[in-house]
Structure 1
Amino acid sequence: MAAISDSEYTMSLPCMASHGRKEALLSLTIVWHSVLDRVGEQYFAPYGGEAIAVSRFAPLFVRPDGEQRPLGERCVARSPVLLQATDDGALKIVLPASSMRVQVDGVAVASETLIGPETLRTGALLRLGGGVLLCINQRTLLPTTNRIPLLVGVSESIELARRALCRAAGTDMQVLLRGETGTGKELAARAIHDLGRRAAEPFVAVNMAGLSDTLAAADLFGAAKGAYTGADSARHGYFGEAAGGTLFLDEIGDAPPEVQPMLLRVLENGEYHALGSSRQQVSRARLIAATDRELNSAKFNQPLLWRLEALVIRMPALRQRREDLGLLIVHFIRRWEAANGAAAALPIAFVGEMCAYDWPGNVRQLSNVVQRALLAASDTTPVLEELLGVPPAMPVVADAARRETPPRNRVKLGSISAQAVLRAMESAGWSVRAGALLLGVSRPSMYKLLEAHPQIRPATAFPPEELRVTLEGNGYDILRCASVLKTPGEALRRYALLHGLLVKERNKGAPG
Structure 2
Amino acid sequence: MQKKLSDDLNTTAAHAYGRERPSPRTTPALTIVSHPRPQRVGERLLLEMLAAVGRTASLSRNAPDFSLPGAGMALPLGDPFLSRKPVQFEPGTRGRLRLVVPEDGTQVRVGTQPVRGSREFTLEELAAGVPLELAGRVVLLLHLAHAPELPGEGDLGMVGHGERLRRVREDVRRVADLNVPVLIRGETGSGKELVARAVHQHGPRRDGPFVSVNLGAMPRELVAAELFGVQKGAYTGATQARAGLFRSAHGGTLFLDEVGEAPPEVQVALLRVLETGEVFPVGGQAPVRVDVRLVTATDAHLEERIHQGLFKAPLLHRLAGFELHVPPLRERREDIGPLFMYFARQELEATGEAWRLTASEPQAEPWLPTSLAVRLVRYAWPGNVRQLRNVARQLVIGSRGLPHLRVDARLEQELDSAALPLPVPTLSVLPPPAFDDTPEPEETTPPRRKPSDVGEQELLVGLRSCAWDLKATAERLGISRASIYMLIEKSSLLRTAGDLSPEEISRCFHECQGDLDKMVQRLEVSKRALRRRVRELGLASA
- Normalising by structure 2, report the TM-score: 0.69
Contact 2:254–2:292 (8 Å) recurs in 1? yes
1:329 match: 340
CA pair 393-71 structure 1, distance change in 2 beyond 3 A: closer
Query: For residues 391-410 of structure 1, what are the structure 2 equivalents within 5 Å?
Result: none
Query: For residues 121-270 of structure 1, what are the structure 2 equivalents within 5 Å?
Result: 121-145=127-151, 146-270=153-277
CA pair 69-389 structure 1, distance change in 2 beyond 3 A: closer
What amino acid maps onto 2:342 in structure 1?
A: H
CA pair 472-46 structure 1, distance change in 2 beyond 3 A: farther
What amino acid maps onto 2:59 in structure 1?
A: V
Contact 1:148–1:191 (8 Å) recurs in 2? no
CA pair 476-164 structure 1, distance change in 2 beyond 3 A: farther
- Answer with 44-53 or 128-137: which moved more: 44-53
1:106 deviates by: 3.3
Query: Unpaired runs of 5+ in structure 2?
Result: 1-21, 357-366, 419-423, 430-442, 469-486, 495-542
2:87 match: 81
1:508 match: 492
1:68 deviates by: 1.9
Alpha-carbon separation, structure 2, partners of 1:72 and 1:216: 57
Alpha-carbon separation, structure 1, partners of 2:89 and 2:416: 36
What SS does structure 1 have at the residue aligned with 2:265?
A: coil
1:28 aligns to 2:30 (yes or no): yes
1:97 aligns to 2:103 (yes or no): yes
2:387 match: 365
Structure 2 counterpart of 1:299, from 304, 310, 329: 310
Alpha-carbon separation, structure 2, partners of 1:290 and 1:461: 43
CA pair 385-494 structure 1, distance change in 2 beyond 3 A: farther
Query: Unpaired runs of 5+ in structure 1?
Result: 1-19, 395-458, 479-492
Alpha-carbon separation, structure 1, partners of 2:276 and 2:216: 25
1:213 deviates by: 2.0
Alpha-carbon separation, structure 1, partners of 2:488 and 2:103: 37
1:54 deviates by: 0.6
1:381 deviates by: 7.2
Query: For residues 395-434 of structure 1, what are the structure 2 equivalents within 5 Å?
Result: none
Query: For residues 277-296 of structure 1, what are the structure 2 equivalents within 5 Å?
Result: 277-296=284-303
1:392 deviates by: 7.9
CA pair 498-385 structure 1, distance change in 2 beyond 3 A: farther
CA pair 385-498 structure 1, distance change in 2 beyond 3 A: farther
1:460 deviates by: 6.9
Alpha-carbon separation, structure 1, partners of 2:449 and 2:227: 56
Contact 2:116–2:428 (8 Å) recurs in 1? no
Alpha-carbon separation, structure 2, partners of 1:128 and 1:70: 14
- Answer with 145-154 or 381-390: which moved more: 381-390
Contact 1:198–1:244 (8 Å) recurs in 2? yes
CA pair 495-239 structure 1, distance change in 2 beyond 3 A: same
Alpha-carbon separation, structure 1, partners of 2:135 and 2:78: 12
1:351 match: 373
- Answer with 212-221 or 496-505: which moved more: 496-505
Alpha-carbon separation, structure 2, partners of 1:193 and 1:291: 18
1:117 match: 123
1:62 deviates by: 2.4
The number of equivalent residue pairs is: 411
Alpha-carbon separation, structure 1, partners of 2:369 and 2:405: 8
2:43 match: 41
- Normalising by structure 1, report the TM-score: 0.73
1:148 deviates by: 3.4
2:411 match: 387
